[in-house]
Amino acid sequence: MSLMNAKEIMDLIPNRYPILFIDRVEEMVPGESIVATKNVTINEEFFQGHFPGDPVMPGVLIIESMAQVASILILKSPEFKNKTAYMGDIKNAKFRQMVRPGDVITFKVNMIKKRSNTGSVECEAYVGENKVCDAKLTFIVSKEERNQ
């Protein structure tokens, strides 16, 4: 049973199809850590043009997925309610294994620090027990409330 489904995720972050990549939030300690998943299917639009004879999920979309999970974590903090988190920095991104259709990616994100309008997180992505990517991301949180 998931903690948040796709509808609840869309209520929190502004991303929509075809750029919403998170299917479920499995665990969360608001302001501290989160675990979320994405089911990778052959029907995803990016597979039409990204090595169609040998489909591989683009690394930049794995990073975007991590950013979406981190946004959920950050925006679940009471002080950031109804705000929007924008990516400010990507550090030490490493791609360790290809992600293919049929894989389920599990994202684990831990808050490093949170300030009045910024946040830094450590992100890891796994397929099964295999780490496929990791990175440190920094976010800037809007001062204005977003329209629901």
The residues carrying an active-site annotation are 50
Distance between alpha carbon 27 and the CA centroid of its chain, in Å? 14
Sheet holding 118-127, edge to edge: 24-29, 33-39, 104-114, 118-127, 130-141, 85-95
User: Rounded distance, CA 134 to CA 125, Å?
Assistant: 6
Handedness of CA 142, 60, 19, 72 (dihedral sign): negative
Strands 24-29 and 85-95 come out as unpaired
